[in-house]
Amino acid sequence: MDAPQQTFNDELIDFLKCSPTPFHAIDSMRLSLEQAGYKRLFEADSWQGLEAGRYYVCRNDSAIIAFSKAADTAETGYKMLGAHTDSPCLKIKPTPEICKHSYYQLGVEVYGGVLLNTWFDRDLSIAGRVTFKTTNDELVSQLIDFEKPVAMIPSLAIHLDRDVNTNKTVNQQTDLPPIILQLPKDKSLDFRDLLLQLIKAESPKADAAEVLDYELSLYDTQAAAIVGFHNDFLCSARLDNLLSCFVGLKALLESDSNKNTLLVCTDHEEVGSVSSSGAQGPFLKSVLERLTDSAENLSRCMDRSMMISADNAHGIHPNFADKHDANHGPILNKGPVIKINANQRYATNSETSAVFRELCAQADVPVQSFVVRSDMACGSTIGPIVAADLGVKTIDVGVPTFAMHSIRETAGAWDAYYLFRVLKLYFS
Ligand code: ZN
């Protein structure tokens, strides 16, 4: 592994650590864009007469579009890249307090397709967005992160569940509430008061008086790490799909600003993308409409554009190889994967696939393809949603991983950098 790749992986590991929730991921991306000279636009402002330049716009603090406006877009189109900011996790319920046998626990909702067994016996923390009232009765939203481990979900001992290794099921209502502390008898604790204490300690100037509401998730405090006797693997939470967000951002930042390029990272993919900040919402279309002077020119622009939708793929697992089609089992560290599905669960077609293959060849990066076994259901991602909404040529790609939706997923230590090299070339 050469120095640039080493630095790239170190930065990816930092990004994963700073991004326990979509809100934090957007905040990290925003900072990088600011540092690179991107100017922030607000949806509520007028964009009339927007000059050529590099801009970004956020929605709901959990989705972002960054773009470079250069030549006439109707004549050239946009090179676009899409990814999603959310990952399956456990979210804290609005009235979460549960007190049993001296233990203070939090009620949680399962967000997306969580691989639940992996959440037991981990050192968990809590992060997200809190909206509070100040002493002047103003409403303020702020990101918070406890950072240290403050919760865990203990397994039941094997002696009390003899069938656990052959027949383990997880009840989402009763088995998951994490324990966060022990309370003396007859004492109670309001979770919002606990949050208020944290905000007051961390941001005394925020003048917080009362926590009204929050969107908080649990996350594993174990940092991302390079693993393996020869450092072949990258293990972390939220590789799906923060890895693609980071790769896309780096490729955009290192690309030529004289091209029309665009990065869109949306929320709520893991629950179907139907939200104002999800890929089925109007965010991307609305931004593109505002960057084009007429409906006809937007149609011309889209016909000349391309979208690469990047989301991780399933690498063939050596212990479960029969879960893959024998000819389409992507291998970690053998390059990005083109995802194909005849039933349009992926938006790839032969033309977009050929363009991507050619980019990989020019970047001297290996490339693989994935098709699900014909007797199994196929997953999906934002590619088909964007393709159907905009009518833009689209391809679904991603790096191969193990244990998708586990609290700790595994990718190849080479693949993120491979994908970066291809996307940098695409944007240039
Ligand atoms: Zn994903």
Cα-to-centroid distance, 399 and ligand 1 (Å):
11
User: Is residue 257 predicted with pLDDT exceeding 80?
Assistant: no
User: In which element (H, E) is residue 142 found?
Assistant: strand 139-145
- pLDDT tens-digit readout, 158-169: 999 999 999 989
CB 34 within 8 Å of CB 232? no
Does residue 308 register a pLDDT over 80? yes
* pLDDT tens digits along 131-147: 999 999 999 999 999 99
Residue 63 has pLDDT above 90, yes or no: yes
Task: With cut-offs at 50, 70 and 90, classify the pLDDT of residue 180.
Answer: very high
Residue 310 Cα to chain centre, angstroms: 10
Position 235 confidence tier, pLDDT thresholds 50, 70, 90: very high
Percent of the chain whose pLDDT exceeds 70: 100
Distances, alpha carbon 265 to alpha carbons 95, 230, 241, 285, 308, in Å = 30, 33, 10, 13, 12
Cα of 269 from ligand 1 centre, angstroms: 7
Q: What is the mean pLDDT of the segment spanning 328-354?
A: 96
Q: What is the pLDDT of residue 72?
A: 85
* More confident of the two residues 27 and 49: 27
Please compute the mean of the pLDDT values over residues 118-127 and round it to a whole number: 98
Give the pLDDT of residue 70. 87
Quick one: pLDDT band at residue 305, thresholds 50, 70, 90?
A: very high
* The pLDDT of residue 256: 76
Residue 190 CA, ligand 1 centroid: distance in Å: 35
Confidence check: pLDDT of 301 > 90: yes
Compute the distance between CA of residue 338 and CA of residue 368 in angstroms, rounded to an integer.
Answer: 6
Distance from Cα 136 to the centre of ligand 1, integer Å = 41
Q: How far is the CA of 94 from the centre of ligand 1 (A)?
A: 26
Confidence (pLDDT) at 39 = 97
Average pLDDT of span 229-241: 98
Label residue 265 exposed, middle or buried (CB < 10 Å: 0-12, 13-18, 19+). buried
**Ligand 1 centre and the CA of 371: distance in Å?**
16
Distance from the CA of 317 to the center of ligand 1, in angstroms?
18
Q: pLDDT category, 214, cuts 50, 70, 90? A: very high
- Calculate the CA 167 to chain-centre distance: 32
Q: Residue 222 pLDDT > 90, yes or no?
A: yes
Flag whether pLDDT at 299 surpasses 90: yes
Evaluate if residue 71 carries a pLDDT over 80.
Answer: no
Which tokens hold the place of 294? Answer: 């007429």
* Angle subtended by helix axes 3-18 and 239-253, to nearest 10: 120
**How crowded is the C-beta side of 67, counted as CA atoms within 13 Å?**
25
The answer to whether the peptide bond before residue 241 is cis (omega within 30 degrees of 0) is yes
The pLDDT tens digits of the residues spanning 352-374 come to 999 999 999 999 999 999 999 99
Written as one string, the DSSP assignment of 370-401 is E---TTS-----HHHHHHHHH--EEEEEE-EE
Entry pTM: 0.97
Tokens of 357: 């293959």
In order of their start, the domains of the chain are 3-87+237-427 (3.40.630.10), 89-220 (2.30.250.10)
Residue 312 alpha carbon to ligand 1 centre in Å: 6
Which pLDDT tens digit goes with each residue over 320-336?
999 999 999 999 999 99
- State which H helix or E strand residue 417 sits in: helix 415-427
pLDDT at 23: 98
CA of 197 to the centre of ligand 1 (A): 35
Q: Could you tell me if 42 and 5 are in contact, meaning their C-beta atoms sit under 8 angstroms apart? A: no
